[in-house]
Chains A and B, each alone.
Chain A
Amino acid sequence: SQQGEEDPQALSIQEGENATMNCSYKTSINNLQWYRQNSGRGLVHLILIRSNEREKHSGRLRVTLDTSKKSSSLLITASRAADTASYFCATDASDSWGKLQFGAGTQVVVTP
């Protein structure tokens, strides 16, 4: 079963715009991670935020975590065509030791 659910399922924006996607989950977590998957490739880790953190930045990425609402958001600023990919959140649940559960993903298309 999927722990995280991303919203929206698909997102289409133009270069230079910001892209925001959300992830909701069901149980307590140790950390939440975001991954990117380009078409036909494996997943690549983007950023990890721990349950005691509220916000984290990495380059053009900004991740927030609200454990009271069991939700996270990923913001990509000043998007580029190369950001076109599927983005997945993954949760390391407190009661599922070692199991990183992935959501269904958000498909992002950035047009030049």
Chain B
Amino acid sequence: DAGVIQSPRHEVTEMGQEVTLRCKPISGHDYLFWYRQTMMRGLELLIYFNNNVPIDDSGMPEDRFSAKMPNASFSTLKIQPSEPRDSAVYFCASSSFLGQSIEKLFFGSGTQLSVL
């Protein structure tokens, strides 16, 4: 398996532009997570899906952020309009549940977003 695949690897955009980050989870995993990593705030959970359905989006910072998972093999995180404070590394991760707890997460390589 190729692991979790994210694209693009790097994104540089100007304030006000729309940004779309993409993720392909590991086949067979029924949970998908979007995290954001910054020096100031560390790793923050933005949203997660179970069987393509958003379960908890309480970590999404503002209405400018939206995430979708149209099928089991694809998810997007969109920022519209983007702002400089959105600059961060965005990680997608997938996993499966076993019993009553979440098992290990498999992370993608991340998207380094810079909003100028």
Q: Name A's B-contacting residues (CB within 8 A).
A: 2, 30-31, 33, 35, 41-45, 48, 50, 88, 90, 92, 98-105
- Given the known interface contacts A43-B91, A98-B50, the answer about A33 and B108 at a Cβ–Cβ threshold of 8 Å is no
- Chain B: minimal CB distance from A47 (Å): 9
- Given the known interface contacts A48-B104, A99-B48, the answer about A42 and B43 at a Cβ–Cβ threshold of 8 Å is no
Give the contacting residue for B107; candidates A42, A99, A103; CB below 8 A: A42
Q: Are A45 and B104 in contact (CB under 8 A)?
A: yes
Q: Are A98 and B31 in contact (CB under 8 A)?
A: yes
Residues in B with CB closer than 8 Å to A101 are 45
Interface residue B110 (Cβ < 8 Å from any Cβ of A):
yes
Q: Are A2 and B50 in contact (CB under 8 A)?
A: no
Main secondary structure of the interface of A (DSSP, over half): strand
Question: Tally of A-B residue pairs with Cβ under 8 A?
Answer: 55
- Chain B: minimal CB distance from A25 (Å): 14
- Given the known interface contacts A98-B31, A104-B42, the answer about A42 and B108 at a Cβ–Cβ threshold of 8 Å is yes
Q: Are B107 and A43 in contact (CB under 8 A)?
A: yes
Interface residue B33 (Cβ < 8 Å from any Cβ of A):
yes
Residues in B with CB closer than 8 Å to A104 are 42
Q: Are B105 and A100 in contact (CB under 8 A)?
A: yes
Contacts beyond the supplied A33-B105, A42-B108, A98-B31: 16 A-B pairs with Cβ under 8 Å: A2-B42, A30-B102, A31-B101, A33-B104, A41-B110, A42-B91, A42-B109, A43-B105, A45-B104, A98-B50, A98-B97, A99-B48, A99-B56, A100-B105, A102-B42, A102-B43
- B39's closest neighbor in chain A, by CB? A104
Give the contacting residue for B43; candidates A41, A45, A88, A92; CB below 8 A: A88
The docked-state distance in angstroms from the alpha carbon of A92 to that of B101 is: 7
The docked-state distance in angstroms from the alpha carbon of A44 to that of B109 is: 10
Give the contacting residue for B45; candidates A45, A88, A99; CB below 8 A: A99
Interface residue B55 (Cβ < 8 Å from any Cβ of A):
yes
Q: Are A103 and B42 in contact (CB under 8 A)?
A: yes
Interface residue B100 (Cβ < 8 Å from any Cβ of A):
yes
Q: Are B45 and A44 in contact (CB under 8 A)?
A: no
Give the contacting residue for B48; candidates A41, A43, A98; CB below 8 A: A98
